[in-house]
Amino acid sequence: MKKFEIPSKYRSSFIGQIKESRKITDPRKKDFTPTVLDFGPLQILIARHFGFCYGVENAIEISYRTVDENPGKRVFLLSQMIHNPLVNKDLESKGIRFLMDTSGNQIVPWHDLTALDVVLIPAFGTTIEIENKLKEIGIQIEKYDTTCPFVKKVWTMSEKLGSQDATVIIHGKHAHEETRATFSHSTQKAPSVVVKDLDEAKALAVFARGEGTKEDFYTRFKGKHSANFDPDIHFNKVGVVNQTTMLASDTHEIAEYFKSIMIVKFGEENLSDHFVDTRDTLCYATNDNQDATYGLLKEQADLAIVVGGYNSSNTSHLVELCERKFPTYFISDVTEIKSENKIQHFNYEKKELRLTNDWLPKSIKPLRIVLTSGASCPDAAVDAVLDKLLSFFENTLNKEQLLVSMGV
């Protein structure tokens, strides 16, 4: 796989050596058990896969190179490059300005842009409408498009479904930048509708079965369906794609659910005429990180820490998985760990920060902590959390001693 040139401050020599060691012993990525870092009184169960993915490193490399190659020019990002506050703050410090926030609200008016400006398209991609607006201004977008190839793969699948006269059901968060982009591209070729989860999929199935009125459909799925979507005719053939950072198990469940709807509606012998099996369209990193988290759930631990941006979809799903078994703390970076007695963390369901006291049960010996991060989180941020945890314990191995003891 291509090696990207990203700032060294995002990397960690310690974590890099651990990852490289696992690659050597498990080149085909079949082993999803965590690496146990035994420091003595503290044991860290670090996920088999975590941290920056291909698409993120590609986007960061292009962003930094763009600034260097365009001295004196104004450089803008459509919105956050990735959902990580550390990286976005660094990009702003390089002089890059955001045109919009993550909800699509304008920060810099379009009329302020000129053909001399540089505009970076983030890893999530963007809508056809915004692409056309930039082209009308005269801004070149191809050279500065950092859209993840796995997102583009979803767009290609959506186009394929359209060519087969199928309606595209998008499993995603309809307000998320990536889903907004996928929806825009999908609607160019096919009727499209967005569902967030299985409950919303079941609500949509009411109309797929012909049991609801058009008025109810337009009310229930306002803002989530393509123009001129007709529930009476656009559920004769369907296929499911997804926002690349959703839970794979959820996408599979939604696809199987609509498959069963089509079987009941048209008969199993006619299934191929009414359901297109797309498999899932998640990116490899999302799959790997989720499988590695399932590997963590097979272990015994006292708590879990997940590091990443609070608006990161893929990170929130790792939190969701960890919470099935462990007391879990979702933090953006090491500064959220205030002390061994206080931690600030994010509740992604209620979208609020919380401060928890007595979060670290040091009386347990050895204390076992699960540690992982999202695909937009630098390894250096995870390493900083590890160092902070080690500072709360006495008589621990240092990291160099640990690597020697592990034969790394």
- Any idea which residues carry the catalytic annotation? 178
Measured between alpha carbons, how far is 234 from 205 in angstroms, rounded to an integer?
A: 12
The dihedral built from the CA positions of residue 95, 330, 47 and 406, taken in this order, carries a sign that is positive
Token digits of residue 82: 């990735």
The DSSP annotation for 363-393 comes to: TSSSEEEEEEE-TTS-HHHHHHHHHHHHTT-
Task: Tell me the H-state helices in 26-53.
Answer: none
User: Which of 183, 181, 151 lies closest to 53 in space, CA to CA?
Assistant: 151
Measured between alpha carbons, how far is 354 from 344 in angstroms, rounded to an integer?
A: 6
Are 19 and 382 a contacting pair, CB within 8 Å?
no
The β-bridge partners of 304 are: 328, 370
Report the run of H or E that residue 178 belongs to, with start and end: helix 177-186
| CB-CB neighbours of 108 under 10 Å | 14
Using CB atoms within 10 Å of the CB of residue 122, give its burial: 0 to 12 exposed, 13 to 18 middle, 19+ buried.
buried
User: Which of 229, 251, 228 lies closest to 240 in space, CA to CA?
Assistant: 251
Measured between alpha carbons, how far is 305 from 333 in angstroms, rounded to an integer?
A: 10
Are 229 and 179 a contacting pair, CB within 8 Å?
no
Report the run of H or E that residue 256 belongs to, with start and end: helix 248-266
Token digits of residue 40: 């003595």
Are 363 and 302 a contacting pair, CB within 8 Å?
no
Token digits of residue 16: 């890099």
Pairing of strands 42-46, 35-38: antiparallel
| Type of residue at 18 | I
DSSP 110: G
The DSSP annotation for 286-333 comes to: HHHHHHHHHHHHTS--SEEEEES-TT-HHHHHHHHHHTTTS-EEEESS
